[in-house]
Amino acid sequence: MRCPKCAQENPTGKIVCSRCGTRLRPGAGPAMVAVTPERFMAWLRADLVKLAVVLVIVTVMAVALGTLVR
C-alpha cells in the first residue's frame, strides 16, 4: 500500500507508514464521537470523585503509618 503523504510503498496490512508514520487505513483507529457538554461534565465529575476517594485513602494510610512509626 502506498502512503498518501510520502509515497513510501508499505507491505499489505500495514496500519501506519514505515517512513513517516501517516495512518494508511482510515478506519483503523478509534472512532471519533461527538461529546456533548453534559456528557463531558458527567465524566469530569466521575473522575473528580475517583480522585477524591484515592486522596482520602492515601491520607488515611499516611496518618496510620505515621502513628505506627512513632
pLDDT at 70: 81
C-alpha cell at 18: 514505515
Whether 5 contacts 17, CB under 8 Å: yes
23: CB partners within 8 A, 6+ apart: 15, 16, 29
The distance of Cα 23 from the centroid of its chain, to the nearest Å, equals 18
| pTM (2 d.p.) | 0.51
What pLDDT digit, counting tens, does each position of 17-52 carry? 999 988 887 654 555 668 899 999 999 999 999 999
